[in-house]
Each structure stands twice: as C-alpha cells, then as structure tokens.
Structure 1
Amino acid sequence: MEKLPANAGWLWVKQGFALFRKQPAEMATLFLAYMFLMLIIGIVPLLGQILPMVLVPVFSMAFMQACTHIEQGKKVYPNLLLTGFRKPAFASLLKLGVLYLIAAVVAVAASALIDGGVFWQVMSSDKALDRETIRNSNMSLGMMFSAAIYIPAAMAFWYAAPLIFWQKMSVGKAVFYSFFAVKRAGSAFLVYGLSWMLIGVLLPALVSSLIAMLFAKSFVVMLVLLPLSLMLTVVMYCSFYPTYTAIFGRPDSTAPALLN
C-alpha cells in the first residue's frame, strides 16, 4: 500500500460533501433517526449513560453502508440503522463499543493529573459544578490532556468497525490494522482533522457571529446555526467512508492483504 499524500485529507472532506449532495434529505433523515434512538436509549435506567457509547460502532456502520448505497445509486432509508445489528458482526461490534467506553473513561480520568479531577466531575456527575470552581481550575488543560491520551485509541478505533463488519476481522486484528493504517496516513489525517476544525467549528462560529451582529436576535442565530450544524455533522459522517476506501478499497472489492 502506497503512503497517502497530505492533500488526501482535504480530498476526503470534498468527497464527503459530494456524497451528501447526492442524497441530502435521506442522509439528514438517517442522522435524525439515529439521534432520536440515542435519546431513547439515553433514558434507559442505569444503562442509559453507557449504552450510547457502547453502541457507537454498531450504529456507525449505518452511515458507512449508506455511503455505499449512494455510490451504487440506491436509496438511503432509516432502516439502515439496523445494519450493525446483523450477526455475527454484532457481537464483535459490541465488544469494540466496550473498548470505546474503557478508553474514554481512562482518558477522562487521566485529566485528574492536571486539574485535580474537575473535568472528571463535570463529565461523570449529574450535579453541575459552580462557575468559580471551574474558573479556578486547570480544566481546559485537563481536557487537552485527555484528548492527547485518547489519540492512540482513536487511531485504533477509526477503521475497526468497518473492518469487523466488511472484512470479518476479529476485534483485536481490526484494532491493530486500524492503528497502523492511520499511523501510515498520518499527514493526510492531520489535514483532514484541521479541515474539519475550520469547516465544522470555525465556520459555524463565524456565521453565528455575523448573524448576531446583523440581527441581534438569538432565535435568528439558532434558526441558521442549527440546520448548518446538522448539515456539517452529516457531511462529516459521509466523509468517514472515503477515508476507508482510500486505504482498504470499496467493501465489495476489498482484498484481505491490507498493509505491507
């Protein structure tokens, strides 16, 4: 496998927009259906706090499969949310979800080394901390430290779900291949991440600031910002698919020999 150039990261973003433009309403509906299911799952007693994280790999395959449908000219329907529940992949995807949860807990817990546990309390407690406590803490540094700790896990998880589902890999093998595939394409992923920082974070912030200056009404800002944020989130989900196909090929023609 040839090493990808850095500009491949920007190409993935553009391909995400191209996929979304082909079926925007259908992809938005799929995402809203996913959010609704997450809301319902979140109110389940006891399990409501951990199930959404554990089920992330399961539901992620709905969006990956939706992108294959778009490429093949097929219509995307909300029933694709059940894609990841197919056997035998479902059990492995659940195991992967448990690893997601463990990695997230470890990363957030590690922030206590920097801020004395303030970020952990914010994330794990239903009781909100007072502003003074947060202001006088190093929570921002703690959050950045958590993000840095989580990076290796994110690399290991990035391709794991589709490798489990489409290439029938075990969880361990999928995590292994994912980590080294991302590492090998590091410059492309750096450009990809920076691109989404600009488009997904700075662009909405700029738009909301401009609208606030023009209209000075919060409901007008929300009226524009909510659909914009929804669209960009769905496009980001669409862009995950080309990051996979650029390295592992399309699902119907992926070869088992993946890395050299």
Structure 2
Amino acid sequence: MEKLPASTGWSWVKQGFALFRKQPGGMSMLFLGYMFCMLAVSIIPLLGQLLPVILVPVFSVAFVQGCLHIDQGKRVLPSLLLSGFRKPVFPVLFALGVLYIIMAIVAIGASSLVDGGALWQLLTGQLNKETAEDVIRNSNMGASLLLTIALYVPAAMAFCFAAPLIYWKKVSLGKSLFFSFFAVWRSLSAFLVFGASWFAISMVTSQLLFLIAGRGMGVQLMMPLSMILTVVMHCSFYAAYRQIFGLPVDESKKVSLEKPEE
C-alpha cells in the first residue's frame, strides 16, 4: 500500500461518477432494492431498529460488486444484493455490523461523561422540541461532540474498507480492520480531500436544487438526488479500494479456473 497524494481523493470522486454513468439504471435499481430490504427488516419486532445497521456491511458489498461488474463489462442486476449473504463471508460481515453498533454506542456513550447524557438523549430521540433547546443550551454539547468525533474517526477508518476486504480477500475480521485502518492512515490527506469533496458536492447540489426548483419542489427532489449521490459515493469508495488494494478478483472465474477437469 503506497502513500497517495492528496489530489487522489478528488480523482476517486471523478472515477465514481464515471462508473455510475456507465450503468446508472442498474446501480439505482440496486439501491432501491437495498432500501426495500432495509424497510422490510425494520418492521421485525424487537430487532427492527438494530438489524438495518448491523446488515449495512452485508449489503454494502453489493454496491462494490456492482462496480466490479461495471469494470468487467457485465450488467448490474438486483441479485447482487445477495452477495454478502453467501458463505463463508456472511458470518464475518454480520459480526462486523455488530461491532460497528458497539463502537457507535461506546463513542456516543462516552460523551455522557462530558455533557451528562444530553447528546445520547438527543440522538436516541428522548428529547422533544420543547426540552431539546434547553438541554442543549445548558450542557457542554460542543465538547461532547468533539469527544465523540475523536473516538468515532479512528473506528471509521478501520471500518472503511473492512467489508470489501472480507468479501474479496477472505481475511478475518481483525485483519480487515487492521488493513483498512492503515490504508486510510497512509493516505490520510487523500481521504481528507475525498471527504471534503463530497461535503462540498452535497452542499452545492442541494442549494442549487432549492434555488432552481424552489423550496417546495426542492424538498421533493431531494430524495432522488440523495439516492444518486449515495450510489455515486459507493462507486467512489470502490475506486479508492481498486487503487489501494488492486482490482478485485472475479470469484466466478476463480472458481472455474480452480475446478479440476473431469
């Protein structure tokens, strides 16, 4: 893993848009299928609030696998949503999702040491509109946010490429987190540009949408715009993975090559 210049972050963004333009319909249908699955999972009693978050790594491999199909000139089909549910990677991807929830709880829970639990109550919906302003005003919300970010960012670096590493490289959960963290760390300037670019794109496109379409129509158009930008962002992450770890191996070709002749 070589250290990459900061400008590489913007290059990943452009490559993400280029990938999406090749099969916008296929990638959009993949995302719609993902949203439908998440909606279906969310109605499960008791686990409905946790499962959508736990299954994010499982479903995320569908999008990078879709990008690989685009690279190989194949069609992106909704059946790719099942990619992360195959053995032997599913248990590891599921464990990754569980670990992500634990990490988020620890990061947000640690803020209670600073603000007395105000941030936790805000994010978990325990505060109504009448009491939220007073609680935020009387708590040390700024310091608690900084503490949460300080704990969350290193964990996010470890989770960044963990799912595709598990899926394509067949590495263990621990190794995937290790390699992902140091891949991001070695090219941190590129990822800072990457994150800043996506923040700017999101802000500029939303403001332009409201300016051109007006407030009422702009709110209605935000949903499809957000969907497209989310899919392109997944394509950009694939571009980053491809440059850092190399072009993924096509598992179907790998199996056919390894199959002994009869």
Q: TM over 0.5, yes or no?
A: yes
- Equivalences for 1:37-52 in 2 at 5 Å? 37-52=37-52
Instruction: Please name the residue that 2:14 is paired with.
Output: 14
Instruction: Please name the residue that 2:85 is paired with.
Output: 85
Cα drift, residue 173 of structure 1:
1.0
SS in 1 for 2:87: coil
Instruction: Please name the residue that 1:103 is paired with.
Output: 103
Instruction: Please name the residue that 1:232 is paired with.
Output: 229
Instruction: Please name the residue that 2:165 is paired with.
Output: 163
Cα drift, residue 40 of structure 1:
1.5
1:204 aligns with 2:205: yes
- Equivalences for 1:146-185 in 2 at 5 Å? 146-185=148-187
1:112 touches 1:119 (CA, 8 Å); kept in 2?
yes
**Mean Cα displacement is larger for which, 11-20 or 158-167?**
158-167
Alpha-carbon distance between aligned partners in 1 of 2:154 and 2:194, rounded to the nearest angstrom: 17
Instruction: Please name the residue that 2:63 is paired with.
Output: 63
Amino acid at match of 1:70: I
2:2 touches 2:186 (CA, 8 Å); kept in 1?
no
Alpha-carbon distance between aligned partners in 1 of 2:14 and 2:120, rounded to the nearest angstrom: 36
Q: Map Cα deviations across residues 58-117 of structure 1 (whole Å, 9 max, x no partner).
A: 111000100001111111111111000010011111111111111111111122233321
Tell me the number of residue pairs that the alignment of Structure 1 and Structure 2 aligns.
249
Amino acid at match of 1:220: M
Amino acid at match of 2:5: P
2:64 touches 2:235 (CA, 8 Å); kept in 1?
yes
Instruction: Please name the residue that 1:133 is paired with.
Output: 134
Instruction: Please name the residue that 1:257 is paired with.
Output: none
TM-score, normalising length from structure 1? Answer: 0.89
Identity of aligned residues (%): 56
Cα drift, residue 211 of structure 1:
3.6
Which of residues 141, 144, 153 in structure 2 aligns to 1:142?
144
Cα drift, residue 140 of structure 1:
5.2
Instruction: Please name the residue that 2:115 is paired with.
Output: 115
Cα drift, residue 134 of structure 1:
4.5
SS in 2 for 1:49: coil
2:122 touches 2:132 (CA, 8 Å); kept in 1?
no
Cα drift, residue 4 of structure 1:
0.8
Q: Aligned-pair RMSD on alpha carbons?
A: 2.0
SS in 1 for 2:44: coil
1:28 aligns with 2:28: yes
2:4 touches 2:190 (CA, 8 Å); kept in 1?
yes
Amino acid at match of 2:75: K
Alpha-carbon distance between aligned partners in 1 of 2:221 and 2:6, rounded to the nearest angstrom: 33
Q: Which runs of 5+ in 1 are unaligned?
A: 255-260
1:252 aligns with 2:249: yes
2:119 touches 2:141 (CA, 8 Å); kept in 1?
yes
Amino acid at match of 2:114: I
Amino acid at match of 1:197: F
Cα drift, residue 34 of structure 1:
0.7
Cα drift, residue 244 of structure 1:
0.5
Cα drift, residue 127 of structure 1:
6.0
Cα drift, residue 253 of structure 1:
8.1
Cα drift, residue 22 of structure 1:
0.6
Amino acid at match of 2:134: T
**Mean Cα displacement is larger for which, 119-128 or 59-68?**
119-128
Which of residues 204, 208, 220 in structure 1 aligns to 2:217?
220
Cα drift, residue 224 of structure 1:
3.1
SS in 1 for 2:48: helix
Cα drift, residue 50 of structure 1:
1.1
Amino acid at match of 2:110: A
